Amino acid sequence: MRSILAIKRISSILLATCVGLVAQEDDDYKLYELDTVETVSQRIALEDSLTTFSMPVSALKYEPLVDVQSRNSVESQGDVTIRGGIFENTGFMLGSATLFDPQTGHYYAEIPVSPHMLSRASVLTGSANAFSGFNSSVGSINYQWSAIRPNQELALGVGEDGYWFGSAYGAHLEQADDGSTWGIDTEVSHSESDGPIENGDHDFDRLSIRFQRIEGASQSDVFFGYQDKFFGWPNMYTPFGVAETEDIQTSLFFLNHRVDHGDFFWQASAYYRKNKDDYEYDRTRPGIFNPFEHTTEVYDIAVEGGWTSDQWNLLTKVEWLQDDIKSTSLTFGAFNSRSYLKGSVLVDTEWDDNEGNQWRLAGGLSYDDNNRGGSKVLPMARLDVSGLPGLGDNSQLYIDVSRASQVAGYTAIAGNPNGGLFRGNPNLVRETATNYELGYVTQSDHFSFQAAVFKREDDELVDWTFAYDVFGRTANHVDIDTTGVELLASYDFDKGRVVVGYTSLSKDEDYGVANVDASFYALNFARHRATLAFIYELASGIELRSDNVFRIQQDNLLRTEGTSDDAVLSSLGLYYFPKSIEGLELGLALVNLWDSDFEEIPSVPAAPRQISLNATYRW
């Protein structure tokens, strides 16, 4: 238990965020959270994709603390936003490193890793993101490498419009003479469909393979993954009624090593990522305007560590990244490669007052720099208290203030500023976001609840905007103040689980002298968004699972006339686990149960109701 308590003491300086650290105890790896709130997949009912094979982004579709805006499906192209930010304000972390695409945040979620190999996702905001996040000014999605467990799995799904998918996963462990454990797991997956609407087809493949060594308190992982995705959708990125396509190949080579020494832990990550994209504005006329072909390469090294003592705790992290882009269209910028450096340090102390209340004060700084612009030193501070009268057992109240920053990607800074579909701006400067937050967290055996009130001031945020006299979209700076409320509650009962979330957002924006009539991203948000997830055991071996989102959207003139500004979006699954065949799971699922026409991204058509049959066999 000593290592668990040490990790929790180190990590509690970021209380009420949902990042996870992984440690080993009694030959068993477990996910340690920095708060008392569940991780993502515990907050949703349908973890797996219902329209293709599952990807890391699949479990975020109905997550209460994020909003995923998709084209075709979240697995085809999903923009993940947190607390009213835009897709490029959200980072994806694996181990200690941030999986980065320098061209555009639309490709951040292109992660060719089987979810079998990952921990549950966690959401970082406030000081947690300011400390750990990289080039993500609002929030980050954090994954860790899971321990390999001997397991084999075959999955198959079929549905309307020629849809089918197949996936095979296998894992094997061997015990060495020196007491270490060696493992290998791999997955091969394929999915295809003619599409639920015309020109909405897809064809996906993924290969993931990992080698792992566990010895004592250390875990080492070597991973290679490759993913090939082709998909189409009308109005994918432009509002002109054209059938657009994406063809994306992503390769990832990743090394990770993690050690827990009880009162000290450290983790090092390194990766190489290559992303190749061929976007067609009009699939019937390939290459019209300019061919949009891009290849990005990223090299990353990140190291983090933590130390704990009786009264003082320390966390540090350093991350270096080098990128490079080759593009047929993004040729108007001043450079096509860039290196980044970020370092963070946090110190905290804790004490009990005369009334028996427990206090913790944390403070730190991060340093952001790159070789193509200026640097920033950004502070973070947090105060939390537990034991106050009326708070209840296992409850905390906290105040959090932090700043984070990022620089724009190549589509924004190197696109033609005077023509084309995606008009860049070479004068874009570093963005900064200041977050002020007051929150409360509590948990009992069967019930958990968290609440947060926040205000975020985004300065020089890069948004993509529309003007009536301009063809295409334009990258522009905007200053936005976002005020929000987040509520999240979950309850476990004998037959299942219910999770309810609610987020309210309001924005005050200033585009300065820019010619802006509408916003594709920064002003595409839900003023009110509620989620409901439940799992209920109807009878022995039969489960009903459902995820639901209710939203009242901010008005946006880019939304297609006649479509809904508000929406109820639901997925429903009925699952059967026959006792006669151990390990078999059968499911009947409906996506977009009410056949809503709500456009998650303005002018991008909604995917209609889809029905699928799924079978999984594990042994």
Please report which helix (H) or strand (E) contains residue 484, including its range.
strand 473-493
Mean per-residue pLDDT over the chain, rounded: 91
Asked which of 381-390, 536-545, 567-576 is least confident by mean pLDDT, the reply is 381-390
Beta-strand relationship, 422-423 and 473-493 = parallel
Q: Mean pLDDT over residues 355-360, rounded? A: 89
Alpha helices in 333-418 (DSSP H): 410-414
Instruction: List, edge to edge, every strand of the sheet that includes 122-124.
Output: 97-99, 90-94, 139-143, 122-124
Residue 607 has pLDDT above 80, yes or no: yes
Q: Where are the domains of the chain?
A: 2-567
Name residue 543's beta-bridge partners.
Answer: 537, 575
Q: How far is CA 147 from CA 119, 187, 601, in A?
A: 9, 15, 37
- What are φ and ψ of residue 315, in 5° steps? -125, 140
Question: What is the SS3 assignment for 462-481?
Answer: EEEEECCCCCCEEEEEEEEE
How many whole angstroms separate alpha carbon 395 and alpha carbon 44?
23
Residue 51 has pLDDT above 70, yes or no: yes
How many whole angstroms separate alpha carbon 331 and alpha carbon 224?
31
How many whole angstroms separate alpha carbon 128 and alpha carbon 141?
11
CATH number of 2-567: 2.40.170.20
Residue 149 has pLDDT above 70, yes or no: yes
First to last CA, the chain: 32
How many whole angstroms separate alpha carbon 10 and alpha carbon 490?
26
Other beta carbons less than 10 A from residue 438's beta carbon: 13
How many whole angstroms separate alpha carbon 577 and alpha carbon 535?
14
Q: How far is CA 88 from CA 103, 105, 538, 545, in A?
A: 10, 4, 42, 32
Place of tokens 């880019």: 558
Q: Mean pLDDT over residues 212-234, rounded? A: 97
Q: How confident is the model at residue 28 (pLDDT cuts 50, 70, 90)?
A: very low
% of the chain surpassing 70 pLDDT: 93
Asked which of 20-34, 137-151, 459-473, 593-607 is least confident by mean pLDDT, the reply is 20-34
Residue 280, sorted as left (phi over 0), alpha (psi -120 to 50) or beta, turns out to be beta
Helix, strand, coil % over all residues of the chain, rounded to 5: 5, 60, 35
pLDDT tens-digit series, residues 258-296 = 999 888 999 999 999 999 999 999 999 988 877 899 999
How many whole angstroms separate alpha carbon 94 and alpha carbon 253?
12
Non-local CB neighbours of 32 within 8 Å, separated by 6+ positions: 4, 7, 8, 11, 20, 21, 22, 23
Residue 1 has pLDDT above 80, yes or no: no
By residue count, the chain amounts to: 619
How many whole angstroms separate alpha carbon 598 and alpha carbon 218?
48
Asked which of 7-11, 61-65, 256-260, 583-587 is least confident by mean pLDDT, the reply is 7-11
How many whole angstroms separate alpha carbon 401 and alpha carbon 456?
10
Supply the pLDDT for residue 261.
Answer: 85
How many whole angstroms separate alpha carbon 33 and alpha carbon 3?
14
Look at residues 229, 249, 283, 275 and name the one whose alpha carbon lies nearest to residue 73: 229
Separation of CA 87 from chain center? 10
How many whole angstroms separate alpha carbon 331 and alpha carbon 327?
7
Q: How confident is the model at residue 564 (pLDDT cuts 50, 70, 90)?
A: confident
- pTM beyond 0.95: the answer is no
Question: What is the SS3 assignment for 218-236?
Answer: EEEEEEEEEEEEEEEEECC
Q: Mean pLDDT over residues 485-490, rounded? A: 97
Supply the pLDDT for residue 40.
Answer: 55
Strands (E) located in 281-414: 292-308, 312-327, 337-352, 358-370, 373-386, 395-406
Report whether 168 contacts 151 (CB < 8 A): no
Q: How far is CA 353 from CA 356, 396, 439, in A?
A: 6, 15, 21
- What are φ and ψ of residue 89, in 5° steps? -90, 0
